[in-house]
Chain A
Amino acid sequence: MTPVRSVRLTVNGTQTTVTVEPRTTLADALRNELRLTGTHLGCEHGVCGACTVIVDGAAVRGCLMLAVQAEGREITTVEGLGSAAHLGALQLAFRKHHALQCGFCTAGILTTAHALLTDEPHADEDRIREVISGNLCRCTGYLPIIAAIMEARIAYSDLQCEAAQ
């Protein structure tokens, strides 16, 4: 049988270990081993962005990173951004602006936007568009997604202020 490896990583603040084949992608490990199925796979070749998760603060395509490369890293998935009962600022803005229809691309766009706004809470519209152009959505035409992210910026700049104080 194919050899397996154990990988220790922190996912949404919780330390955990997954046992995977070396060829298993991070996205597959999160989905199949940890059952965090909010991370979706739309292409499995790095183009659509549906699988985006945050690894040590950077937005990363979960389908292009191997699980074994995540050893010791800190991962945030969509499940870490807020629960259905307690949505985070970005999620609330998405709901308000109807920035999702089928919801399949949504997790990857939320994680991408979360990583962006955490680093650059004042990103302007062009910058947001540029970053989100790495994520495909077939339902919304992107307009409401951009509007929602623009609105959520305030929550991230507040966070930055709090951190500074």
Chain B
Amino acid sequence: MSDVAKFLVGCAVERMEDARFLSGSGNFADDLAVDGMLHAAILRSPIAHARIMSIDASAALAMPGIHAVITARDIGDAIPIIPLRLAPLPEFEPFRQPVIASDKVRYVGEPIAVVVADSRALAEDALETIGIEFEALSAVTERGASENALFDFAEDNVALRYDAGFGDADAAFASADYVRTERFSVQRHTALPMETRGLLAEWNSSAGRLVVTGATKVTFYNRRALAQMLGVREDDIDLIEIDVGGGFGVRGEFYPEDFLIPFAARKLARPVKWIEDRREHLMAINHSRDIACELSLACRSDGMMLGLRGRIFADMGAYIRTNGGVVPAKAAQFLPGPYRIPNVSVSVEAFMTNKTPVGTYRGPGRFEANFFRERLIDMAATDLGIDIAEFRRKNLITEQELPYPIDGLVPYEGPTSYDTGDYVEVFERALKEIGWHEKRHLQGKLIDGVRHGIGLGCFVESGGAGPKENAAVTLEKDGSLTVAVGSSVLGQGLETVLGQIASDTLSIPFDRIRVLHGSTTLLDEGFGTYHSRAVVMGGSAVLDAATRLREKILQQASNHLGRPNSELKLVNAKVVADNGASVSFAALAAGRELQADGTFSNDVRTYSYGTHAAHVTVDPRTGAVKVLDYIAVEDVGRAINPAIVHGQAIGAIVQGLGGVFLDHLIYDDQGQLLNASLADYLVPTASDFPVLRAVTLELRPSPSNPLGAKGAGEGGIVAVAAATANAVAAALAPLNVEIHHLPLTPPRLWRLIKNAHARAITAA
């Protein structure tokens, strides 16, 4: 039996990227150093809203080691504008961000000038000497402040409004036994990858070519955008992806610096490196969430949901960047969740403020929508005297009802349906894991000075977006395999996962495989990594390429061994014939490497789904919350590497708990970001959430791709606010405290408890 192939797909194989990271031999953006390299630092607006009257860089230019100070004037009359990559609604066009401020600044952190110097320290020294005269304008920091329009062409600060829905919500609400309306919000926060952004741009003047290293996520798209802005041919630019210290949605979108640094390199004909510092990062990279919602639910008295009405209000910050209105659009789309709600109407209002622009962060819109809906469900169930688990069970879409269309909730998207799954089974599994039946009597109980609460949150989550991904595999002359893919690696272990797929298809040992990714040099076109698509799309493209290469290998071996294909099989980097003759891959490729391209197109989204459950205690004297137990159950269709999927789920839960309790970008009414350092912007540490569990199921493979995989990177985060806030609310229910707004900081909870107490006293 020794020749039976050992399949890697489905196994928790150790990651091929780990050895280099563990030994400190990874290659991240700031590790790059080339001869003649200069360093850039960026002067950012210290004011939220102002006209720029003048810029005086003479003192900076006179300093030793300073090569240039680049401002809007150096870039020309037409300042390039960052394009909308997603959800390109025409309403957003006029609100897009120029790559540098020319006459007006609209948020603290907006680039005004780029200093290029012999060292980063010198460049930063010079920043301080640049004199800028501003005429301050009053800052807009909230919705409805229409008297100070950010943009001269607009009457107010609303960039977009739309209504969408299906069924007849008005009729459903008119006929319902029970209706409840509440307002909720999720605070502004951001992904905070541990590596800040950074780029090295090298311009070769004689060849007229530009190489930008440190790119990621959507390199081919960004190359197109950059080529247009610089007025050079796309082919004359290469974007190179190296190791990336975390993406989570924010990294790799086209930011102002993605133009400014290449521009500086071309202008000076020298390599220019820019590494963002953490303070800049917090004010420059996309912020996210920051959504308020007015949500109404209509039910029969037995708890059957009849209708849902949601009004989403999204603070987009000062400009609409590449992600367009994805965050509010997805918040609206995922309001109904995994429930059978026949009548849904949603509206979206995206408004502008003098804050950093908003983009996607892991689970964009879903984190928020699930929190809003699951909170309201608990309130409705309690009002109707129905157990919170029973209420959900009654309304979850059953397997017989799938595929379940949810068309019409996003105006710029075509029809879509929840595909496959058993929502109820996964829900029951989560109840079992958290011990719902044994622990439900603890709800609100005061034990040893703390109140216990258990919360549930169900979700459905899209992933694996099309349109396409490409891959190429090459059997090298030495018999090793090179896999190249258009997907980007953002620290999620994709090299290993793609290696597993190639290894199985070609019966080639894992350690003979090298995975190259993301760079524009590898393929003619690639589509990148976003919307949990890397495994679904990239993995399927690699599978296709490897399958084609397999045919070539068999053909070659058939000639070589004189046996028909039907008598050949691939075993451990060899082709073996029924008669025992064999030839190694290395021998087959010795003369010329064998190569095959693969592609995968797909317009059908996958929908993973699951349930989270949390058991918390709240200390009513301090408002401090402890998470005693947390379980996330998700069906991902197929887990290529269960350890990687599990690791991502645990990491995502902790990020989500940060979003519930800690992460918060705080602005004052002048539009100043008050906590732009890691001392002030809090994220979870190792001692915050020690008990967490994730169960990854493979109940219903996706029918839309040959791997059966569904997006798996986001299911761990999307229902964290829902389950946790419900648990906190359950703990505090006896004190008449309701939870509507995140983050659940001790001061906020303490105040809610105190106010509820004061109300009770007044009423008595």
Contacts and interface: CB of A to CB of B under 8 A. Distances in A.
A52 interface: no
A47 B194 contact: no
B685 A136 contact: yes
A104 B644 contact: no
Interface residues of B, number: 60
Secondary structure of the B side of the interface?
loop
User: What is the interface residue range for chain A against chain B?
Assistant: 35 or more
Interface in B1-51: 12, 14-15, 17-28, 30-31, 33
B245 A102 contact: yes
A145 interface: yes
A141 interface: yes
Interface in A5-28: 21, 23
A84 B23 contact: yes
B683 A136 contact: yes
A135 B64 CA distance: 37
A39 B30 CA distance: 11
A102 B23 contact: no
Nearest to A38: B24
Nearest to A37: B31
B193 A102 contact: yes
A98 B195 contact: no
Interface string B234-269: 000000000111101000000000000000000000
A107 B28 CA distance: 13
Contact of A41 (B24, B30, B33, B679): B30
Contact of A141 (B19, B23, B653): B653
B64 A1 contact: yes
Contacts of B196: 42
B25 A38 contact: yes
B651 A104 contact: no
B690 A102 contact: no
B213 to A, nearest CB: 14
Interface of B: 12, 14-15, 17-28, 30-31, 33, 64, 121, 191-196, 243-246, 248, 277-278, 490-493, 643-644, 646-648, 650-655, 677-679, 683-690, 692
B685 A35 contact: no
Contacts of A132: 685-686
B687 A140 contact: no
A137 B195 CA distance: 10
Counting from the closest, the 7 A-B pairs by CB-CB distance are A38-B24, A102-B491, A103-B21, A104-B245, A141-B654, A78-B24, A47-B678
B651 A101 contact: yes
A141 B14 CA distance: 18
Contacts of B688: 133
A138 B21 contact: no
Nearest to B277: A44
Contact of A137 (B194, B277, B644, B652): B194
Nearest to B32: A37
A129 interface: yes
Given A37-B31, A44-B277, A139-B246, A101 B492 contact: yes
18 contacts: A31-B30, A45-B677, A47-B679, A94-B22, A101-B493, A103-B18, A103-B20, A104-B28, A104-B194, A105-B194, A106-B22, A133-B688, A140-B650, A140-B651, A141-B647, A141-B650, A144-B647, A145-B686
Interface in A84-137: 84-85, 87, 91, 94-96, 98, 100-107, 110, 129-130, 132-137
A83 interface: yes
Nearest to A36: B24
Nearest to A131: B686
Given A1-B64, A102-B194, A103-B17, A138 B650 contact: no
